[in-house]
Structures are given as structure tokens and as C-alpha cells.
Amino acid sequence: MADRFRIRPATVGDLPAIAMAEPICFSDPWSATALRELFQTGTSTALVASDDPPANRLAGYLFARAIGDEAEILNVAVLPEFRRLGVGRQLIAVALDRLVGQGVRKVFLEVRESNDPARGLYAGLGFRPVGMRPDYYRKPREHALVLAWAPA
């Protein structure tokens, strides 16, 4: 159940665990340097999900940035042992609430064309396709669907 996970703002202290999770979650992971730059450039929303103490293990994370009244979810990941438990949905819902609280009126993200589980999650949260980025992903090469969400 998703309610057994705690969502909180990410800190620089979370970066080692996030950097270790990147190659587990993605075939073309962000580097530790790129992740650190998210904090240095003032990413508007950085969240981590962890399971309850005493384990307090990293279950997932999300990075988003807002510019004016638009935002982009840059990275959302859930570690394999925590997938299909509502962690991704909870991370995105908290991020959307925070972004709307900052005055955001539209949120974008890219998703691999073949990532049916993520596409289903995003559709269930109200994201709709608005475009495609050919050959956006490198490993393996694949198109990205651009999705958008706006508050009701």
C-alpha cells in the first residue's frame, strides 16, 4: 500500500542513494554530477519516498522544475522491489500539489513510447499526449511521448 511510504523533500544527503538507484531504474542513468546540479540550479521540487522505519529504505524519487506557470517532471523513479505499490502515483501526486501551490498551470514530462506501465500511471493521473520527441532516448534508442497535465 502506498500509505506505508513517506514522501519528503529530497536533500543533498539523499544523492548517494539516488545515484546508486539510477542505473537500477534506468538504462541511461543520470550521473551523480547531473543529479547534484539539480540541487545547485534550484530545482523547484525534489522528493524522495521511503518505506517506514526501521528500514527507511529509498523506494523512489522525483525531480521537477518550474519556470513561470509551467513545470516539467525531469525524473521519476521507483526501485524495482517497490513497483506496483503506489509509490510512483504518490510521488507524482505530491509533486503536482506542490507545483500547483507554486502557481504552475501546466506540467509536462517525457516517457518512453514502450513504457506501458508508466504511460498507464500517467494517464490515470490525467496526463495526456501532446507530442513526440523522435530518438529522444539513447540506450536503447527510442522515441519519447510528451505528456501534459493541467489542474482541473
Q: Judge whether 137 counts as a catalytic residue.
A: no
Reference 5, options 91, 92, 99; nearest CA is 91
DSSP 57: -
Joined together, the cell numbers standing for residue 21 give 538507484
pLDDT confidence bin for 2, thresholds 50/70/90: very low
Domain ranges of the chain: 2-149
Please determine, looking at this structure, whether the domain spanning 2-149 carries the CATH number 3.40.630.30: yes
Q: Judge whether 61 counts as a catalytic residue.
A: no
For the chain, give the mean pLDDT: 91
**How many whole angstroms separate alpha carbon 129 and alpha carbon 111?**
10
Mean pLDDT of 26-43: 85
Catalytic residue among 22, 61, 72, 122: 122
Phi first, then psi: what are they for 4, rounded to 5°? Answer: -85, 0
Is the per-residue pLDDT at 1 higher than 60? Answer: no
Catalytic residue among 81, 110, 136, 137: 110
What global pTM score does this model have?
0.91
Is the per-residue pLDDT at 31 higher than 80? Answer: yes
